[in-house]
Structure 1
Amino acid sequence: MIRKKHIAFFIAILLSIGVYFLFFQKDKNLKYIPENADIVVLLDVKKATRQYISSFITHPSKWFEEGKKDKNKISIKNSGLEIPDFLQVFHLKKTKISEWYAILEIDDQEKFSAFLKNRQFVNDGKDRFKNSQFFIKIEGEKCIVGTSNLNFDNIGKAFSQKFRNNKLNADSFIKDGLGSISFISELRTQNFSINLNDDEIEIKNEGNAIDFESLISDLEKKTQFLQSELDSENIKKISSFFNENLNDSLSVNSLKMSANLSEVNDTIISYGYDDNFNEIEKISYQKIVQPDYEILLQTSNPEKTWSYFQNKKWITAQNQFTAIPFQPNLISKNGNQILIKSTRESDKVEENKNQNFVFVKNNPLLFSSFKTLNNPIFKNIEYIFYGNKNQDYSVKIKFKKDKYPLILR
């Protein structure tokens, strides 16, 4: 009896050790973040695996759906790639915000070739492959995966083993979250944690103690598709995120914006000929999505701001503001304020909330206008929120409720 207890105890210890190494022990070394990266996104793969298993166990109906998946589709797990404990995705300096890359090691070339064929990648020459979503470049036993192939050759060397006097590992970027997003500059690195909840993704800086729920609840009750209120500092940060630096040129102290979407008839005029070859005018109509908006800029130097717009040739003789592609609109100046609004029907900005935020609510009309948004991921988003107060920042992507949490969808 005692011997059986010893055997059971020994087996329990072995299982515990196995579980620890399988789900908790991590290699935190970050080998493939290049020195010319300015944004780094990390995903704690083992923590994500634990969260997935926990959710899977507590949703038995998902067990039966797993068996119905396409068995001919090769999974990432069987792709021949070695998935690191921390998946490292990065953005390069002075490139488009839509361009992201990751470097992975190839563990089995034969399996990887089968995976590429299975996922409909086509050979683009010189060990480069592409499908409808990703681009891949193979370099020996490594491959670069990207949302673009424009900067495969511009990815710099990996950071040295010393990174600001600390060994470059996951602890430099990620703390308690499922992942992190870090902005790297010459002066400092700003880290933001990524957490995945049942129906939302939340990104916030470390030590964030600000609760934006009251503001979000208020914004949700409004009908507007877009609402925004930003001070000069936030305008500068958001414009630099898109490789622009407008704030110094514009001298803008604050921005308020409100917009809605509506479907209107667009007149199409064409010309043809009758049976006697007389030219006739043909009028037809098509439905288009048109935003109704109002943008209010508060500026310390309205003349400078107006001159900047004129020098850019953004203001026509009819006082239309052409930097916004949705026409017609009107731009006007009144004291320290510059107002840009759609002429058909403008969605008036509300009183100041004295907070910095951008709130975008999902609208079905988006999907008929922008084909890139017409997919299940974007359709299931309820809203996107950005908020800032003092040194605290928060981004929340809220998804529509479902019978399964996000990690199982």
Structure 2
Amino acid sequence: MKKIYIFLVLTILLSVGIYFLFFHKDKSLKYIPENADVVILVDVKKATRQYIFSFLTYPSKWVEDSKKNKNKTSISDSGLKIPDFLQIFHLKETKVSEWYTILEIKDKAKFSEFLKSRQFVNDGKNQFKNNQFFIKIDGEKCIVGTSNLNLKNIGKPLLQKFRAQVLNADSFMNNGLGSISFISELRTQNFSIDLKDDEIEIKNEQNSIDFESLISELNNKTQFLDAELDSENINKIGSVFKGNITDSLSVNHLKMSANLAEVNDTIISYGYDDDFNEIEKISYQKIVQPDYEILLQTSNPDKTWMYFQHKKWINAQNQFTAIPFQPNLMSSDKNQISIKSTRKAVKLNETKKQDYIFIKNNPLLYSSFKTLNNQFFKDIEYLFYGNKDQNYMVKIKFKKEKYPLILR
């Protein structure tokens, strides 16, 4: 009988331990600043459970991890306190590539060893950097960022009341592995983030639209890029980079298709022979050029054309110079403006009456854009953005490999 009681007590203690270790969460958000306009939350304990489950189902991963370089200090042993909800944010009026998070330091000696193992260099004034991140130590906290341009401009934390509710993780997310929230003066839009075996999916929580048939159709085509957007989506995407341009453009619909090709580029230089006569030298190099067609439907083509001229995006040959790739030709016909590359024609797909952007990965990208020449981007199969009514979805599809994403 005593053995049964001991077994029950141990079972209860084990269950309580597992609950507090993997399920109980502190939902308080201490470090989201008032001047943040985008917030990403990651449910660390849910990610841990997903990682452990995947790890247990792939025994070969156990052997590989046992052979890994032990000189690198792991995040779990870095001397940092990892919150139950990792809070990553973007600041208003900063570059799209700038993201920050704030973490507490619980052991400075361990944290110093972690920085050394990850090849961080002391940049002075308690700031460190490596090839990917910048870190600023501020007392018992550290600020981690993809840039050091606005480390000093991170505002005070949001008040405990936000949108008439207590500020915690429930203000931004429900049941996903994470969330991304866009904060404005009027409202907050929340989107869930789910990590699957070979894809990352971001969508608004009430999404009831299945984009899979559209994605499958687009993926079976050969185009590098295919897009169809209405004025609302043009404005939303344009505002990320250039501010509100829809009113100036008077564009109510956009269609675009593009392919990538490697072509010979002629380089002409001049030198002198032994008699000091000028001679022309011709050489060739391989460059990547897109073949594309863009069709802009507009209620006022003259206004749109004048906007491009005002921006000095049209030259005397009616070429659209805002696109730096190879010669193209602009033309206007009734209520639409066409921009076509002149090297090779690209046929636009039929109108699908859906708003989407589909980008299929292409190895030619890596020779043109050095920032994309890393393993993360090489592993991507395609990127999809879709919108219909109030339903939004972004899917990043990765190539199938030996292990699911969370183990890579």
TM-score, normalisation: structure 1:
0.99
Give 1:199's aligned residue. Answer: 198
User: 2 CA distance for matches of 1:209 and 1:311?
Assistant: 42
Once the two structures are overlaid, the 10-residue window that deviates more, 368-377 or 20-29, is 368-377
3-state SS of 2:190 partner: strand
What CA deviation, in whole Å up to 9, does each residue of 1:191-244 have, x standing for no partner?
A: 000000110100000121100111011101110000000000111111112242
3-state secondary structure, aligned to 2:21: helix
Query: For 2:70 and 2:212, how far apart are their aligned partners in 1?
Result: 43
> Which structure 2 residues correspond to residues 172-211 of structure 1 after superposition, within 5 A?
172-211=171-210
Write the distance in 1 (CA, Å) between the matches of 2:65 and 2:25.
Answer: 28
- Superposition map of 1:298-309 within 5 A: 298-309=297-308
Equivalent pairs, count: 408
Alignment partners' CA distance in 2, 1:391 and 1:317: 42
The answer to whether the aligner puts 1:293 opposite 2:292 as a matched pair is yes
CA distance in 1, matches of 2:167, 2:399: 38
Alpha-carbon distance in structure 1 between the residues aligned to 2:271 and 2:309: 40
Which range moves more in the overlay, 118-127 or 186-195? 118-127
Match of 1:112 in 2: 111
Q: 2:243 & 2:164 partners in 1: Cα distance? A: 32
CA shift digits 1:362-403 (9 cap, x unpaired): 111111111111111111110000000100000110011112
Counterpart-to-counterpart distance in 1, 2:345 and 2:7: 74
132-141 or 341-350: bigger deviation: 341-350
Counterpart mapping for 1:238-317 below 5 A: 238-317=237-316
Query: Could you tell me how far apart the structure 2 residues matched to 1:243 and 1:105 are?
Result: 36
2:388 is matched with which residue?
389
Q: What does the per-residue CA deviation read over 1:269-313, in whole Å, with 9 as the maximum and x for residues that have no partner?
A: 111111111111100000000000000000011111111000111
Q: 1:127, 1:137 within 8 Å by CA — same for their partners in 2? A: yes
The yes-or-no answer on 1:51 pairing with 2:54 is no
**Which residue of structure 2 aligns with residue 331 of structure 1?**
330
Higher mean C-alpha deviation, range 78-87 or range 344-353: 344-353
The 2-side partners of 1:210 and 1:53 are apart by 31
Residues in 2 aligned to 1:77 and 1:326: alpha-carbon distance in whole angstroms: 46
Q: Distance in 2 between matches of 1:383 and 1:133?
A: 24
Alignment partner, residue 214 of structure 2: 215
2:153 and 2:27 map into 1 onto residues whose CA distance is 25
Separation of aligned partners in 2, 1:185 and 1:354: 29
User: What root-mean-square deviation, in Å, do the aligned CA atoms of Structure 1 and Structure 2 show?
Assistant: 0.8
C-alpha deviation, 1:327, in angstroms: 2.3
The answer as to whether partners of 1:357 and 1:386 remain within 8 angstroms in 2 is yes
Cα distance between partner residues in 2 of 1:303 and 1:351: 26
- Structure 1 residue 341 and structure 2 residue 340: aligned? yes
Structure 2, unaligned runs of 5 or more: none
Q: TM-score, normalised by structure 2?
A: 0.99
* Range that drifts further, 35-44 or 324-333: 324-333
- Partners of 1:253 and 1:299 within 8 A in 2: yes
Amino acid at match of 1:109: K
Say whether the 8 Å CA contact 1:319–1:331 is kept in structure 2.
yes
Pairs within 5 Å for 1:87-236: 87-236=86-235
Deviation sequence 1:249-282 (CA, Å, 0-9, x none): 1010000000000000000011111111111110
Question: For residue 36 of structure 1, what is the aligned residue in structure 2?
Answer: 35
Question: Residues 105-130 of structure 1, C-alpha deviation per residue, up to 9 Å, x if partnerless?
Answer: 11111111111121111111111111
Contact kept, 8 Å, 1:94 with 1:243, in 2: the verdict is: no
In structure 2, what is the Cα distance between the partners aligned to 1:390 and 1:49?
Answer: 35
Find the residue that maps to 1:124 and give its secondary structure.
Answer: strand
- Taking the aligned partners of 1:46 and 1:352, their CA distance within structure 2 comes to 44
Residues 275-284 or 47-56, more deviating? 275-284
Structure 1 segments of 4 or more deviating over 3 A?
A: none
Question: In percent, how many aligned pairs have the same letter?
Answer: 76
**1:115-166 residue CA offsets vs partner (Å, 9 max, x unmatched):** 1121111111111111110111111111111001111111110001111221
Q: Determine the structure 2 residue equivalent to 1:407.
A: 406
Q: How does 1:74-89 map to 2 (within 5 A)?
A: 74-89=73-88
How much has 1:245 moved relative to structure 2?
A: 1.4
Determine the C-alpha separation between the residues in 1 that align with 2:368 and 2:192. 33
Cα distance in 1, alignment partners of residues 327 and 110 from structure 2: 55
